[in-house]
Amino acid sequence: MGRKVTVATCALNQWALDFEGNFQRILKSIQIAKGKGARYRLGPELEICGYGCWDHYHESDTLLHSLQVLAALLDAPATQDIICDVGMPIMHRNVRYNCRVIFLNRKILLIRPKMALANEGNYRELRWFTPWARSRQTEEYVLPRMLQDLTKQKTVPFGDVVLATQDTCIGSEICEELWTPCSPHVNMGLDGVEIITNASGSHHVLRKAHTRVDLVTMATSKNGGIYLLANQKGCDGDRLYYDGCAMIAMNGSIFAQGTQFSLDDVEVLTATLDLEDVRSYRAEISSRNLEATRVNPYPRVTVDFALSVSEDLLEPVSEPVEWTYHRPEEEISLGPACWLWDFLRRSNQAGFFLPLSGGVDSAASACVVYSMCCLVCEAVKSGNQQVLTDVQNLVDESSYTPQDPRELCGRLLTTCYMASENSSQETHNRATKLAQQIGSYHISLNIDPAVKAILGIFSLVTGKFPRFSAHGGSSRENLALQNVQARIRMVLAYLFAQLSLWSRGARGSLLVLGSANVDESLLGYLTKYDCSSADINPIGGISKTDLRAFVQLCAERFQLPVLQAILSAPATAELEPLADGQVSQMDEEDMGMTYTELSIFGRLRKVAKAGPYSMFCKLLNMWKDSCTPRQVAEKVKRFFSKYSINRHKMTTLTPAYHAENYSPDDNRFDLRPFLYNTRWPWQFLCIDNQVGTARQFCVSYPGEHAGASFEEKNFFKCEVAWCGLFHFLCTYVDIHI
């Protein structure tokens, strides 16, 4: 009997409820796997129906159509003589489960339900599915009649079971199970399972790939074995982008790396590995072998099939590879670009419309589109027929072949500079130059006539005419005058998006792109229903700091020199009157905090789950060299006041590419109230009490009690240490005051 096995794992661009398209992509991946000599093929989580079906999982139609696709796969000639592992929802005894269905030669070998469901952040699996709670136990699942007729089976094993072939043993994990403290692969490996598979629906977040790779390599480093990870890729219907990263690992090393960002709908990785390498690796780990003698065995389904062939002495085996990671700015240039491409080609729109202000944020959105055009041209050049067909449909030209990203950008992106009397010549010039350098179809217009018309109506009704603060008006007048400019821009953006191509004699309409970053959304530093309101926002989940790094990358990689001028210019909304022809309004001054501080506030609020008091306690030490306790307190209170006042804006937030775990997106991710007591009286009093204690003895903070005695300094240090210890105990030891 041979000992070398060729296995395949996939990254598929599945689309929620696109049963026909999903079926074809699954079938294509199986054909490719067989063509590469694989005898086992693993696909992504819930690949038959698509991962992001959400409440459609409650519908019987979703279950029915998934079974129909499974039947079509069982009956397809391409699925013969290869073990196929596919994902779909299944109802067993009136309970819905997220399952793997493993079949061979028109026979279902077993159904393995998911045991640990993802239910944090963007995931709501417990809303739709129930975890299988019976470890190492199985039941008999009665097949629907459509499958009984095809497979000639009445029941199949359902539960926590592994597959025993003639030459090895295979066990399944499903996505979240790899991330849990007690992952199934541990006990499976101890029980002699040599190949672990993981079908994932894991979405992209900046810097997440490191964690995913570390989990897989560590799983096989401690316990030995082969590990296959498959993943969804692309935009399957909402804010998430699934970034592929399929991989094959063995004994702590990576042997095959899939692309993290790609326009290929079907990607198949294979590796030929020697099972004896697993056995010899495990043999010398005595601690592992002692644990193996005590593990409870898994039920096994025996199948008369081998992954290896009898004569494989000369069969070459795969060599380890070094995993290549993208820098965060590279991830931004690729992930949102692929997401935009999927959104565009599946929405049946003809391109994008982007209000271009001459600032960093709108420039970043434009650069994402340009990066998308570069990826499309590269894919076409490499022979991707699907991308070529899609782009021909978009431009309504069957003979068109994109070669130059600038030329393609001119067909797919319309940019527009919307000037007012408060706009500077510098931003106008920067917007125009950027449009020229990326090749977008550019429009410049002036919104003053529309603004004056709106204000004229107000004045006609009320007899009053509002003024800016610079002209003697109140803060209410000043804010209203800024907002009317911003909202007029939104109205014009949608008008031009719908009719711009019509005016040029071309078919279709355009998707309006937004350009509010995650930090501005967090604070609510945007006008409700202004240019932040769009169809989709490619940068809405990305911090200002990361966006600046991305724009710098684009300046160098795409040779766009105007981006340097955009990066060096101060951030401004240009909604207030100019002073001697120069911009007088600065974003960070308006917000009362810097973008760097906003990122810190955002991560503490969401990721560290800190309320006002906890945030103050953490920042007291973090900023001790630059801020006094009173300054820290004022910054924290200013943030929470503005955050809570503007939280209602998140209910209308434009759907944005999810890239940061501190996103304030109220619609799916950040489920918090939008009506607060914005004075936070109890919380702020707790902060003020601590500031009073700190100020009484403070000598280590700049500018406070610099002349304190040595005894006072030591007393203060003890006081701070005690306060920190007490806060730790209250937080982590559950002391109730």
DSSP for residue 46: T
Backbone angles phi, psi at 178, to 5 degrees: -70, -30
Cα 64 versus chain centre, distance: 30
Distance CA 64, CA 60 (A): 6
Nearest to 584 by CA among 418, 359, 423: 423
The catalytic site residues sit at 45, 114, 175, 357
**Beta carbons of 46 and 175 less than 8 angstroms apart:** no
**Beta carbons of 639 and 593 less than 8 angstroms apart:** yes
Helical packing angle, 681-697 and 710-732, nearest 10°: 150
Distance CA 526, CA 532 (A): 7
Distance CA 353, CA 362 (A): 11
Q: How many CA atoms lie within 13 A of 437 on its CB side?
A: 21
H, E, C per residue of 443-486: EEEECHHHHHHHHHHHHHHHCCCCCCHHHCCCHHHHHHHHHHHH
Nearest to 527 by CA among 512, 510, 513, 514: 514
Give the type of residue at 51.
Y
Residue at token pair 């061979």 = 104
Write the DSSP assignment of 482-551 as a string of letters. Answer: HHHHHHHHHHHHHHHHHHHHHHTT--S--EEBP---HHHHHHT-S-TTSTT-SSBBTTTTS-HHHHHHHH
Q: Which residues contact 495 (CB under 8 A, 6 or more apart)?
A: none
H, E, C per residue of 655-683: CECCCCCCCCCCCCCCCCCCCCCCCCHHH
Backbone angles phi, psi at 264, to 5 degrees: -75, 125
Residue at token pair 């539960």 = 159
Helix (H) or strand (E) holding 552: helix 544-557
Give the type of residue at 468.
F
Distance CA 30, CA 82 (A): 8
Residue 472's alpha-carbon distances to 421, 465, 466, 467, 469, in angstroms, are 18, 12, 10, 7, 5
> What does the radius of gyration of the chain's CA atoms come to, in whole angstroms?
29
Residue at token pair 């939008």 = 674
Residue at token pair 């296995």 = 7
Residue 610's alpha-carbon distances to 18, 594, 605, 636, 666, in angstroms, are 41, 19, 5, 11, 18
